[in-house]
Amino acid sequence: MITEQLMPGGVKDPRVLEAMGRIPRHRFVQKGLEDQAYLDRPLTIGQGQTISQPLIVGMMTQALALTGNEKVLEIGTGSGYQAAILAELAREVYTVERLSTLSIAARRVLYRLGYHNIEFKIGDGTLGWQEKAPFDAILVTAAGPKIPETLKEQMAEGGRMILPVGSMESQELIFIKREGSQWKMRPLSECRFVKLVGEEGWSGE
């Protein structure tokens, strides 16, 4: 996965590569799919959600440029795999998931693997986690029609956010950095994610 997918795909940060090489991705996929865990493709985790392909996980994580002392917000706990990577690379991780069954399952796996710098919340991820803000980095693992203003406001000075934005058919990965009262944005790549459902995202219907 590291030498055949991540590095040729542009993931160069040694800390990201080391973390992704260390984490047992097969522990985060559904039973029966373990043999596909390290292929560069998304896999279903139930409830219409997926675990993203390794390359997109690596790209998004690398873009945050984590050094080890950050407080990070993740929107969309899903399987818990991305949270594990963030926990390896940052001081604290706060992860929000709207589907309670996924949040509970992810929590169970992460605790068994020894991660204790992650806090979990079940709720509307488009509203972030106001009580724990501001965040040095925010990573959103589902695509909304626009950038949630609430998440922008929860970024610390100098904070970075990466998220997919667009229609249900076509999306773009956007990198945002907060500089004072301004948010500087640049597109990274085209992508395809599940819907970001919530007050500042898509309707759940």
Please give the positions annotated as active site: 52
Strand, coil or helix: what is 5?
helix
CA angle 45, 131, 67 (to 5 degrees): 70
* Peptide bond just before 42 cis, omega within 30 deg: no
Q: Identify which of 72, 54, 69 has the alpha carbon closest to the alpha carbon of residue 16.
A: 54
| Burial class of 155 by CB neighbour count within 10 A (0 to 12, 13 to 18, 19+) | buried
Other CB atoms within a 10 A radius of the CB of residue 158 amount to 11
With a CB cutoff of 8 Å and minimum separation 6, the contacts of 78 are 45, 49, 50, 51, 97, 102, 106, 141
* Peptide bond just before 134 cis, omega within 30 deg: yes
Helix H or strand E segment including 143: none
DSSP assignment, residue 39? S
> Is-contact 111 84, C-beta < 8 A?
no
